[in-house]
Amino acid sequence: MNISGRWRVLCASHWSLANANVVCRQLGCGVAISTPRGPHLVEGNDQISTARFHCSGAEAFLWSCPVTVLGGPDCSHGNTASVICSGNQTQVLPQCNDSVSEPVGSAASEESAPYCSGEGPTGQKTLFITPSMGRQLRLVDGGGPCAGRVEIMDQDSWGTICDDSWDLDDARVVCRQLGCGEALNATRSAHFGAGSGPIWLDDLNCAGNESHVWNCPSQGWGKHDCRHKQDAGVICSEFLALRMVSEDQQCAGWLEVFYNGTWGSVCRSPMEDITVSMICRQLGCGNSGSLNSSVALREGSRPQWVDGIQCQKTDTSLWQCPSDPWNYTSCSPKEEVYISCAGDLLFLCLSQLCRMSLV
């Protein structure tokens, strides 16, 4: 990917088939067949981008997908993202046996579900694209791309999954498919609100290693005895949130980030003005702030999740700022950051700005 005039390879951790699909479409190369693992040839000094994309698969460009950079892993040169595309095939050939791609009664874990293959006229392996290639997955109303109500797009409609026998193994497939890491919770009873439209799947029984959630055994596509108040949801380890912790102030306090299911602190070396401003803006606390180093050491213990955050002018949220990798002990407790933002939620609430920052 060309980032600021420089080509970089992408890291394979969190790389998904949905991301790969967007890449293939963007390049006019059909759909993604697979994302082979293993070492790939990379020029010695090529920089590796640790950006993690969370595409649903429908996006026209990779850079339209939600992206996280903060806390990205150190990526070794053997671990770069890759994809094999189908090539520009627009024909659906009749030899294709559609039933292979249907969850109904098929084997528990068909690896390359959206496609079936056979020998082409020239003896080459030919890929046939079945109707289910149009399916997409997303998480809704969870406050980010890696938590929320599970929704699947099929036949031009977004629908949901019923929570009968919904568990962590099912959630695991969803999180992996979205490049969102590990599954932390499989939520039931419309925890993230009730959806609308069809209920596509019920009694899902994933082993956990399937490549797509619709490959898991179930009642069958569209078969269910549920209502939307039973919509299933997930929280994945890559779900991120931000808050200030203080006894009496809303726009000053200890900065905390939610990662891997736990609130932890942020370390302050080095933290430039541009990063502090980004944080204050994201919290709806004005356009600037300062580090406050005259506060006493904080009580209690928690992870020190991240250090070395360096936002740049082009970043649009803290999640896009580069930093050191997530680490349970990124710094000592006395290096946890306390920020005082210039804005004040109460003051802002009296002005027009408040409404903008609260919606």
Q: Which is nearer to ligand NAG, 182 or 315 (CB)?
A: 182
Q: Which is nearer to ligand NAG, 63 or 328 (CB)?
A: 328
Q: Which is nearer to ligand NAG, 19 or 304 (CB)?
A: 304
By CB under 6 A, which span of 129-137, 162-170, 290-298, 346-354 interacts with ligand NAG? 290-298
Contact pick of 329, 351, 356, 358 for ligand NAG (by CB under 6 A): 329
- In angstroms, give the least distance from the CB of 233 to ligand NAG: 9
Q: Does 295 bind ligand NAG (CB under 6 A)?
A: yes
Q: Does 260 bind ligand NAG (CB under 6 A)?
A: yes
Q: Does 269 bind ligand NAG (CB under 6 A)?
A: no
Contact pick of 7, 61, 63, 328 for ligand NAG (by CB under 6 A): 328
Contact pick of 2, 4, 5, 28 for ligand NAG (by CB under 6 A): 28
Q: Which is nearer to ligand NAG, 19 or 187 (CB)?
A: 187
The residues pairing with 339 across neighbouring beta strands, listed in sequence order, are 253, 291
**x/- letters, 78..107, toward ligand NAG (CB under 6 A):** ----------x-x------x-xx-------
Closest-CB residue for ligand NAG?
28
- CA separation for the pair 255, 249 (Å, rounded): 12
In 3D space, the residue among 15, 74, 76, 13 whose CA is nearest the CA of residue 326 turns out to be 74
**Contact set for ligand NAG, span 113-172 (CB under 6 A):** none
Contact pick of 59, 318, 340, 348 for ligand NAG (by CB under 6 A): 340
Contact pick of 47, 157, 196, 209 for ligand NAG (by CB under 6 A): 209
- In angstroms, give the least distance from the CB of 43 to ligand NAG: 25
- In angstroms, give the least distance from the CB of 208 to ligand NAG: 7
Contact pick of 198, 220, 325, 333 for ligand NAG (by CB under 6 A): 325
Q: List interacting residues with ligand NAG (CB under 6 A).
A: 28, 88, 90, 97, 99-100, 109, 111, 185, 187, 207, 209-210, 237, 260, 292, 294-295, 325-329, 340
